[in-house]
């Protein structure tokens, strides 16, 4: 029998690997169900070592959620494109896929942030700001969005609407097709911005 | 000096009065800040008597929030009108005014429900269902809304959007006029339903 030689990883690489595993585990369970014990078992290492890497449970959750938020921001980054509508469509589709694939963890983040955990709330708000801010940054000439307080309010509330749609669709599609939903979510922003002109 | 004679109230009337006071106190403070002690002080009666009426803190909060939800449902009930658009406009304006006048309490209800308190969540969901269900009931001929799963999804997510808009406007109007916001919120539903056809 041969076995893969164990490679000694430096601590920061090891920590990154463990975070990646934590985010993967979060796809199918809530944050409450993701304990350091669960991660230790899945990673095949001691709880003591995990406490060494992550401190306490609250710091561990914060690190996993921060990584999940970074993943979401990266996953929904459209390729360079001159057309704001094409970038919007890409972002919306990638967001839908991300939430469907990471449903339990995403839902628990929304609940944790909504319930007033200040650290989770801050990470959630940062991620949401990054996603909506991008729409303005990608459109410096204001082809789709004019940067003013009313449009900002519209974009923020549109993102709340999209989150609600995606979460209910992920829970129960109720016969609504993916393409139909995507067209609706993208089209909604265009219509709302038009109404707010 | 004359004084108003003290009237002996039956227990259920007294409880109703205390709930009304609780809801009024909730306008300017969060649920966490609304203790039985605060209510006892404001009502000028003993804490012991309040525990007699409401049991424990959690039951007290549930009773106050249920009353607040009933108030919201009643306050946003449009007068009979054949025109679904007029009823929509009335409901949206009444909802905005209610949230502005009861900002702290409403925000804490949203947070409590979002944070996974199952009883608060149930009351919140019931109220939201009553508000959106009404739009379908008021429009049996489908003049504005056709009753199907996609339209239901749209109306639910529209209500999430409206809540987000109203909460951010109540916090900071950012120069957006009340009438402008009302037109946007009502118009949004019409546009969204149109997109979803």
The string of pLDDT tens digits covering residues A82-115 is 789 999 999 999 999 999 999 988 888 888 777 6
pLDDT interval class at B141 (50, 70, 90): confident
**Which candidate from A113, A161, A191 shows the least CB-CB separation from B160?**
A161
Q: With the C-alpha atoms ordered B86, B89, B92, B93, is the resulting torsion angle positive or negative? A: negative
More confidently predicted of A44 and A81: A44
Whole-angstrom Cα distance, residue A14 to residue A28?
A: 23
- Residues from B contacting A (CB-CB < 8 Å) are 110-117, 149-150, 152-154, 156-158, 160-165, 168-169, 174-176, 180, 183-184, 187-188, 191-192, 195-196
Q: Chain A residue with minimal CA distance to B163?
A: A157
Confidence of residue A27 (pLDDT cuts 50, 70, 90): confident
B111 neighbourhood in chain A, CB within 8 Å:
114-116
Contact at 8 Å (CB) between A115 and B30? no
Mean pLDDT score, A8-16: 83
Return the CATH class of domain B11-195: mainly alpha
Apex B30 CA angle, A166 and A66, nearest 5: 45
Q: How far is CA B32 from the centre of its chain?
A: 17
Give pLDDT, residue A177: 96
Q: Which two tokens stand for residue B190?
A: 């019409």
Confidence bin at A117 (pLDDT 50/70/90): confident
Contact A157 B165 (CB under 8 A): yes
Burial class of residue B167 (count of CB atoms within 10 Å of its CB; 0-12, 13-18, 19+): middle
Task: From B181, B183, B188, B189, select the one nearest B144 (Cα to Cα).
Answer: B189
Percent of chain B past pLDDT 90, that is, above it, reads 64
User: What's the token pair of residue B141?
Assistant: 């001929």
Q: Which tokens go with B83?
A: 């025109």
Q: Is the pLDDT of residue B115 over 70?
A: no
Sign, CA torsion B85/B185/B183/B98: positive
Q: What pLDDT was estimated at residue B1?
A: 47
pLDDT of residue A1: 47
The shortest C-alpha distance from B86 to chain A (Å) reads 18
**pLDDT tens digits for A126-180?**
999 999 999 998 888 888 899 999 999 999 999 999 999 999 999 999 999 999 9
Quick check: A81 pLDDT over 80? no
Q: Is the pLDDT higher at A157 or at B105?
A: A157
Contact A115 B114 (CB under 8 A): yes
How many beta-carbon pairs below 8 A join chains A and B?
97
CATH superfamily of A65-195: Tetracycline Repressor, domain 2 (1.10.357.10)
Mean pLDDT over the full length of chain B: 90
- B168 Cβ contact list (under 8 Å, min separation 6): A153, A156, A157
Decide if B31 contacts B105 (C-beta within 8 A).
yes
Q: pLDDT for B120-132, tens place per residue? A: 889 999 999 999 9
Both tokens assigned to A156:
């923020």
Q: Is the pLDDT of residue B108 over 80?
A: yes
Instruction: Give the three-class secondary structure for A130.
Output: helix
Question: If you average pLDDT over residues A50-79, what whole number do you get?
Answer: 91
Please give, rounded to a whole number of angstroms, the shortest distance from the CA of B49 to a CA of chain A.
Answer: 31
- Cβ distance A149 to B195 less than 8 Å, yes or no, reads no
Determine the distance in angstroms separating the CA of B191 from the nearest CA of chain A, rounded to an integer.
7
Dihedral of the CA atoms A70, A75, A77, A81 (nearest 10)? 170
Residue boundaries of the structural domains of chain B? 11-195
pLDDT number for residue B5 = 57
The Cα–Cα gap between B168 and A103 comes to 27
According to the model, what pLDDT value does residue B6 have? 61
Q: Which residue has the tokens 């406490």?
A: A51
CA dist B112 and A79 (Å) reads 39
Number of H helices, E strands in chain B: 9, 0
- Taking alpha carbons only, the member of A22, B24, B164 closest to residue B38 is B24
Region B48-66: what's the mean pLDDT?
91
State mean pLDDT over A179-193. Answer: 96
CA B185 – CA A49 distance, rounded (Å)? 53
| pLDDT exceeds cutoff 60 at A48 | yes
Q: Is the pLDDT of residue A185 over 60?
A: yes
Among chain B residues, CA nearest to A159:
B161
Residue of A nearest to B179 (CA): A196
CB-based contact B181:B171 (threshold 8 Å): no
Average pLDDT rounded to a whole number, residues B49-61: 90
Please check the confidence at residue B176 and state whether its pLDDT lies above 80. Answer: yes
Whether B85 shows a pLDDT value over 70: the answer reads yes
How sure is the predictor about A5, in pLDDT bands with cuts at 50, 70 and 90? low
Instruction: Please count the other Cβ atoms lying within 10 Å of the Cβ belonging to residue A162.
Output: 25
B1-51, pLDDT tens digit by residue?
455 556 677 888 889 999 999 999 988 888 888 999 999 999 999 999 999
Most confident of A18-32, A125-139, B165-179: B165-179
Q: How far is Cα B31 from Cα B107, in angstroms, rounded to an integer? A: 9
């Amino acid at each position: 029998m041969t076995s893969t030689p164990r490679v000694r990883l430096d601590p920061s690489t090891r920590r990154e690997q463990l975070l990646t595993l934590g985010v993967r585990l979060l796809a199918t369970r809530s944050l409450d169900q993701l304990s350091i014990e669960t991660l230790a078992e899945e990673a095949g290492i001691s709880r003591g070592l995990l406490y060494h890497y992550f401190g306490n449970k609250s710091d561990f959750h914060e690190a996993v959620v921060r990584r999940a938020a970074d993943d979401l921001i990266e996953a929904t980054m459209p390729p360079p494109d001159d057309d704001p509508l094409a970038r919007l469509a890409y972002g919306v589709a990638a967001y839908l896929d991300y939430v469907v694939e990471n449903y339990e963890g995403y839902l628990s983040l929304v609940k944790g942030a909504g319930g007033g955990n200040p650290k989770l709330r801050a990470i959630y708000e940062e991620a949401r700001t990054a996603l909506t801010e991008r729409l303005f940054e990608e459109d410096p000439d204001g082809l789709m969005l004019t940067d003013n307080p009313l449009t900002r309010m519209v974009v923020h509330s549109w993102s709340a609407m999209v989150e609600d749609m995606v979460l209910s669709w992920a829970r129960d599609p109720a016969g609504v097709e993916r393409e139909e939903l995507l067209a609706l979510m993208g089209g909604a922003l265009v219509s709302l911005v038009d109404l707010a002109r």
